[in-house]
Every structure is written in C-alpha cells, then in structure tokens.
C-alpha cells in the first residue's frame, strides 16, 4: 500500500494526536494498532464493503485512505478515515476505473497515489491515480508504470519519492522497481530491482532512511519470506538477515517512521489466511511478532498510518 514509509520519537504528534497504524481488507473490519504499545482495537465504522486487494495511502495527522479492491466486482470506492476521530467518509470522486490488487504510496501533506492494478477483465494496467491533499481531487499521472502490472508493493520516502515494486504482467512476474520523484511525479526505474520476481507483495517505510518490500507469491503456491531493503537516497538494495516469520503473500504493510515497520495478514503456501503481524524495529531491522495479531485471519489487505513526519 500501499506503502511511506517514513521520525517518531514518542507516541503523540503535535496537538496530542495519538499515533497509530491501520490494517484492513478481506473484510470490512479496520484494525488499529496504537503506537508505541501496539495495542489493537477495531474501528466502530469499517470499510464500505469487504474489498480484497485495495491500496492504502496516508496524510499524516489528517487522514488515511483505502482505495479500490474487489468485493465481487472491482470497485472505484475510496474510503477516507479522518484522524484522530477515525470517522469515515467516502470520496465523491473515486478511482478512475474499478481496480484491485493495487499498491499505494504517499507524499504526506501533498498527495496519495494508487497504482499497479487489475482493471477491466482482470488485465493489468499501468495507470497511477493521484489524490491531491487536502482537496482529495483526483488525476492520473501522465507517465504511469514502466509496464502494465498488478499485485506490486508500494513504499515511500515522503517529500522525496514513492516506489512501486514487483508485480505481474499478463504473463510474467517482475522484479522491477519504478520510482516517482516528488513533487514532479517524474518516473525512473531503479538499476537494481528486487532480488525476487514476485507479486502480491507488501511495502513499508522508514521515511528518510529506507523502504522495505516483503516477498509475495511466485509460481503456483510458492510464497517467500525475504524482505528487501532500499536505502534512501541511494536506493541501494540489501536483504534482511531475518525475514518474515511466515512465508506469505496478499499481505499488507504499515509504518511508524523512526520506530518500526509492520507486515500483517496474508496467506501462506497452504492457502491459509493469517492473523500474524510481524514488527521490524528501526534501524536494526530486528523482527518480533506481535502477541495480538489481526482481529480475524484475512488476505488481500492494505495498511496506512498516522505518524508525525
């Protein structure tokens, strides 16, 4: 998620806003994890429908967004959750067309982006939708992805660039990482992509420091557990010594920049849906698993966060 991921020295932002990360999709339930305790609650008002494969976007201190997904058909719906009340509205202007298997990235205070998706008939598209903050007016980037693909992972270096990594074309999984420079949205492609060709990935970010992409699905039921790390601003890639606790795909990411990133939910190689939430502490990248995971086992999830930038 969409994913940015992007700090935080305490559990409150200016004005006393409680900081938190959110994970949703696969049902209407929105899981909220309070930072830094990681205690979980569920919002009283959930998604407009039980979509799988949406994108998550964040405008820190203002609102989080869940865009698109599949609930029996591909939807254009964008739900907005205002901080700190978590009250939900639905944007009058949604995505440019019904899309699922999206990736999200964010330039907090400026715009959120949703790209890499399946559109009409299930075909992958290169379209990237942009929602300007605070008006939430939508446009589509003149230059989309370098190839039409779906199921990528998103990560962000707020104020600098957003990234859409991996995914699958109509025939091939790719390791490509496209970079969109803020605020021009000009696109380049990293010389070094992912160490794996995968789809149904998840991204998380430690803004100003690094972005992370957690491995998804390969051929058949094969799923991986590796986590690639891209150091900012060089975009040099490494692979964490300790990956995910469970190899998975269709998972989601959220971030508490300067503190930790989280990979949540998804499904394993046995097609079992998961409640697991892995936490990677910044900057050491040491992994733990939260004692309290998601409220229910879900796949096709996305995350967003309310954090101080």
CATH number, domain of 22, equals 2.120.10.80
Q: What percent of the chain has pLDDT over 90?
A: 91
pLDDT digit string (tens) for 156-173?
Answer: 999 999 999 999 998 899
Instruction: With a cut of 80, say whether residue 3 has pLDDT above it.
Output: no
Q: Is 3 part of any domain?
A: no
- How many residues make up the chain in this entry? 309
Query: Quick one: pLDDT at residue 308?
Result: 66
User: What is the rounded CA–CA span in Å between residue 213 and residue 172?
Assistant: 19
Tokens linked to 215:
């491995």
Instruction: With a cut of 60, say whether residue 2 has pLDDT above it.
Output: no
Instruction: With a cut of 90, say whether residue 4 has pLDDT above it.
Output: no
Query: Quick one: pLDDT at residue 110?
Result: 97
**0.75 exceeded by the pTM?**
yes
pLDDT digit string (tens) for 122-158?
Answer: 999 999 999 999 999 999 999 999 999 999 999 999 9
Q: What percent of the chain has pLDDT over 70?
A: 94
Q: Is 174 part of any domain?
A: yes
Number of domains forming the structure of the chain: 1
Strand order in the sheet with 302-306: 39-42, 30-34, 20-24, 302-306
| pLDDT, the chain, mean | 93
pLDDT band for 18, please (50, 70, 90 cuts): low
pLDDT digit string (tens) for 267-293?
Answer: 999 999 999 999 999 999 999 999 999
Q: Is 6 part of any domain?
A: no
Mean pLDDT computed over 110-132 = 96
* Residue that the structure tokens 């990560």 belong to: 155
Instruction: With a cut of 70, say whether residue 49 has pLDDT above it.
Output: yes
Give phi and psi for 16, each to the nearest 5.
80, 15
Q: Is 2 part of any domain?
A: no
Instruction: With a cut of 60, say whether residue 236 has pLDDT above it.
Output: yes
Q: Is 5 part of any domain?
A: no
226, 228, 165: which is closest to 199 by C-alpha? 165
pLDDT band for 255, please (50, 70, 90 cuts): very high
Instruction: With a cut of 70, say whether residue 29 has pLDDT above it.
Output: yes
Q: Which domain holds residue 282?
A: 14-306
Instruction: With a cut of 50, say whether residue 15 has pLDDT above it.
Output: no
Percent helix, strand and coil across the chain, each to the nearest 5: 0, 45, 55
Instruction: With a cut of 90, say whether residue 42 has pLDDT above it.
Output: yes
Query: Quick one: pLDDT at residue 219?
Result: 85
Q: Is 7 part of any domain?
A: no
Q: Is 142 part of any domain?
A: yes
Instruction: With a cut of 60, say whether residue 40 has pLDDT above it.
Output: yes
Instruction: With a cut of 90, say whether residue 80 has pLDDT above it.
Output: yes
Query: Quick one: pLDDT at residue 309?
Result: 55
User: What is the rounded CA–CA span in Å between residue 72 and residue 2?
Assistant: 21
pLDDT digit string (tens) for 181-231?
Answer: 999 999 999 999 999 999 999 999 999 999 999 999 998 889 999 999 999
Instruction: With a cut of 60, say whether residue 17 has pLDDT above it.
Output: no
């Amino acid at each position: 998620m969409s994913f940015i991921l992007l700090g935080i020295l305490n559990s409150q932002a200016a004005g006393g806003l409680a900081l938190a990360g959110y994970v949703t999709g696969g049902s209407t339930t929105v899981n909220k994890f309070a930072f830094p305790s990681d205690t979980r609650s569920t919002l009283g008002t959930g998604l407009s429908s039980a979509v799988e494969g949406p994108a998550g976007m964040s405008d820190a201190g203002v609102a989080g967004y869940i865009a698109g997904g599949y609930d029996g058909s591909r939807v254009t719906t964008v739900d907005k959750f205002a901080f700190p009340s978590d009250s939900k509205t639905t944007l009058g202007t949604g995505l440019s067309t019904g899309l699922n298997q999206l990736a999200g990235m964010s330039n907090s205070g400026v715009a959120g982006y949703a790209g890499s998706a399946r559109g009409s008939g299930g075909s992958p598209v290169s379209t990237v939708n942009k929602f300007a903050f605070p008006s939430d007016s939508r446009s589509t980037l003149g230059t989309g992805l370098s190839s039409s693909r779906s199921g990528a992972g998103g990560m962000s270096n707020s104020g600098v660039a957003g990234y859409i990594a991996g995914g699958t074309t109509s025939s091939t999984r790719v390791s490509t990482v496209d970079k969109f420079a803020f605020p021009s949205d000009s696109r380049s492609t990293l010389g070094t992509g992912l160490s794996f060709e995968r789809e149904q990935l998840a991204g998380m970010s430690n803004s100003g420091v690094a972005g992370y992409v957690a491995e998804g699905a390969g051929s058949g039921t094969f799923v991986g557990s590796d986590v690639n790390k891209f150091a900012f601003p060089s975009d040099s890639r490494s692979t964490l010594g300790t990956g995910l606790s469970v190899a998975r795909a269709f998972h989601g990411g959220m971030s508490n920049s300067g503190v930790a990133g989280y990979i949540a939910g998804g499904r394993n190689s046995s097609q079992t849906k998961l409640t697991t939430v892995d936490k990677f502490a910044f900057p050491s990248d040491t992994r733990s698993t939260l004692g309290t995971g998601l409220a229910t086992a879900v796949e096709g999830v996305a995350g967003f966060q309310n954090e101080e930038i």
